[in-house]
Chains A and B, each alone.
Chain A
């Protein structure tokens, strides 16, 4: 009854084209934003921040980025882990080289560095497609991780081979390093996520997004109607890597504090983000949120149930977890290739007509 569009007339193309054309959705969205910015910070504690909320925010950014590349532009990448590492190591080098530079700029710059690297590894996409491209991105994955673990310049010759984030402040509040509070970590990640999600939404609903989707759906036809495939693919790689790089920078500076490339950004990270995109929904902004939430919260719940409640050994729970994730990927691909986002859409379609479906 509340959820309806009848009587909600649009008088301009701008209004017809907005992100949430249905009034109820719009209010829901404002409510969620208000809740995230005003209510959550009052209650968040270290446990919630570290185990669920902060990783969720950070991985959503990565999933948004990968979704632009795979879901919108149709270019499969298995190098997400390495691109996150570029963001992390980029931010580390910037933080140590320019100690006075504000951390927000450091993270954004790290994103741009990653965008550059992404474009470089995206160049082959002009000639190769599908899983051929996936193999090409594997080259990025293994080469970059090798670079970060074997070339001491990248970790400032530290004897452990690890990089660690010094304390940095925003408006006098520490957001990285050991002094950073849960609220500070949460707020900086939330601000980044909300702005980036907004950028992603704008890019995907405009002409660039249409070019990406055209390339995804039928690249040859897209080129014949006038899409420059090189530009479309490279912008997708650049924007996607920018997001992924920021996510990696946040993961390292805010969340982990210290990292080693092979361990923190291995190929399993590439798959984790890929799975978020598949389960959440290819080609959907909401899907990135849903997928990240599912794959961050799910394992935590599973571990709570199996290890803490039933007392199973941790490794057994971990094996069960990857088995379930693998099975879920297959189930989603078979039953609903567009993921949770599509399920959500179906529910909304039904709701629109509820309670009078005819």
Chain B
């Protein structure tokens, strides 16, 4: 087998695993968009914030220590103990739920019935706020995140592909785990929305706010619920990205790539988010692989957006979205 093909295959595999990561973030977008019609720009920062909080809990950081130090001249930094991961994760989930409640109470409640574009801009504001807030709470330096997931090259894949092609593919074990966890997440979300009472209420709200209200579904509860779930999905995404490349600001920028993923997959489709994520992941790796000699590297920066742009021109409703009929 020619080397180029092998390298391309490896790039494809790497793209698939990266795509899973994109899909994880995109999933959070889809959840919120389905339930409230809000295009949540802050989802990426939510992932960053969740990861920061998790690391903070794990390492026993004192929240707002920089701020307190600056205000009172103290020298606080750590409590001096480490929280076990199994405790830190539920604690972070609790923080994310609290955040969801606060967001609902102080932002969403006041923006009911506003145009989508206003809500969108409000989530940009929220993204800024959370970014600053997270930095003040936990500090802005790059942090390593380790929740005990295996890392490094997957020997099994290496051996297997070596046996097949005479060339071992490099796949990070972490990414295999990410794929597995994403699958579980999607499955449980699907079960939740199809078979539970809250899930049904959620779908009803997604369909028609007014109608859902009139049959006695509490909109506010549903919003808190979806933002909580989105927060938890963000935590999962944050753990995955954070374990891979450290918890830092760029995490929220990578998460921005979930936007083109959504354009491809359609904003309301969970399978769409997954497929879109994979297409983008594979597409950008292959594009970079083949085009690097011609136009230079780092095309990952824009490939996803350009693909989405071209795609939008031909199929504005996304791969799995429904056709829009305009009315007067």
Contacts and interface: CB of A to CB of B under 8 A. Distances in A.
A/B contact in complex, CB under 8 angstroms: yes
Interface of A: 74, 76, 124, 127-128, 130-132, 134-136, 138-139, 141-143, 145-146, 150-151, 220-221, 224, 267, 271, 274-275, 278, 310-313, 315-316, 319-330, 333-334, 337
28 contacts: A132-B312, A135-B260, A135-B312, A136-B305, A138-B259, A139-B305, A139-B306, A139-B309, A142-B301, A146-B298, A146-B299, A150-B298, A220-B326, A274-B124, A275-B125, A312-B70, A315-B135, A316-B67, A319-B132, A322-B129, A323-B129, A325-B132, A326-B125, A328-B125, A329-B121, A329-B122, A330-B125, A333-B114
Chain B interface size range: 35 or more
Interface string B287-321: 00000000111110110011011001100100000
A334 B123 CA distance: 12
Nearest to A278: B121
B66 A316 contact: yes
Contacts of B241: none
Given A128-B312, A320-B132, A135 B126 contact: no
Nearest to B103: A330
B107 interface: yes
Given A220-B328, A221-B328, A316-B136, A132 B305 contact: no
B204 to A, nearest CB: 24
B110 A132 contact: no
Contacts of A224: 328
Given A135-B260, A321-B132, A326-B127, A130 B120 contact: yes
B306 A143 contact: yes
B130 interface: yes
A127 B128 CA distance: 30
Interface in B82-138: 107, 110-111, 114, 116-118, 120-122, 124-133, 135-136
Nearest 10 CB-CB pairings of A with B: A323-B132, A329-B125, A326-B128, A326-B129, A139-B305, A142-B302, A322-B132, A319-B135, A143-B302, A312-B70
Contacts of B297: 150
A110 B114 CA distance: 38
Q: Which of B122, B133, B263 has the most CB of A within 10 A?
A: B122
Contacts of A139: 260, 302, 305-306, 308-309
Nearest to B299: A146
- Chain A at the B interface: mostly helix, strand, loop or mixed? helix
B234 interface: no
B227 interface: no
B9 interface: no
B226 to A, nearest CB: 18
A330 B122 contact: yes
A26 B122 CA distance: 35
Nearest to A330: B125
Contacts of A130: 116-117, 120
A322 B125 contact: no
Given A135-B263, A324-B132, A330-B122, 15 more contacts: A128-B313, A131-B117, A135-B260, A135-B308, A139-B260, A220-B326, A274-B121, A315-B140, A321-B132, A325-B125, A326-B126, A330-B129, A333-B111, A333-B114, A337-B114
B316 A132 contact: yes
Contacts of A132: 263, 312, 316
A138 B111 contact: no
A192 B172 CA distance: 55
A323 B126 CA distance: 9
A127 B297 CA distance: 31
Nearest to A123: B313
B66 A313 contact: yes
A257 B129 CA distance: 32
Given A139-B302, A325-B128, A326-B130, A131 B66 contact: no
A150 B296 contact: yes
A330 B123 CA distance: 8
A271 B127 CA distance: 11
A109 to B, nearest CB: 26
Contacts of A124: 309, 312-313
Contacts of B107: 330, 334
B125 A138 contact: no
Contacts of B22: none
B316 A127 contact: yes
Contacts of A311: 70
A320 B136 contact: yes
Q: Which of B121, B140, B328 has the most CB of A within 10 A?
A: B121
B289 to A, nearest CB: 16
B117 A127 contact: no
Q: Which of B129, B130, B136, B297 has the most CB of A within 10 A?
A: B129
B305 A143 contact: yes
Contacts of B253: 267
A329 B308 contact: no
Nearest to A143: B302
A138 B132 contact: no
Given A131-B117, A274-B121, A329-B124, A138 B256 contact: yes
B316 A146 contact: no
Contacts of A322: 128-129, 131-132
B132 A333 contact: no
Interface string B162-179: 000000000000000000
Contacts of B118: 333, 337
B223 interface: no
Contacts of B305: 135-136, 138-139, 141-143
Contacts of A150: 295-298
A285 to B, nearest CB: 20
A320 to B, nearest CB: 6
Contacts of A316: 66-67, 70, 136
B70 A310 contact: yes
Given A220-B328, A316-B67, A136 B302 contact: no
Contacts of B306: 139, 143
Contact of B128 (A76, A141, A329, A333): A329
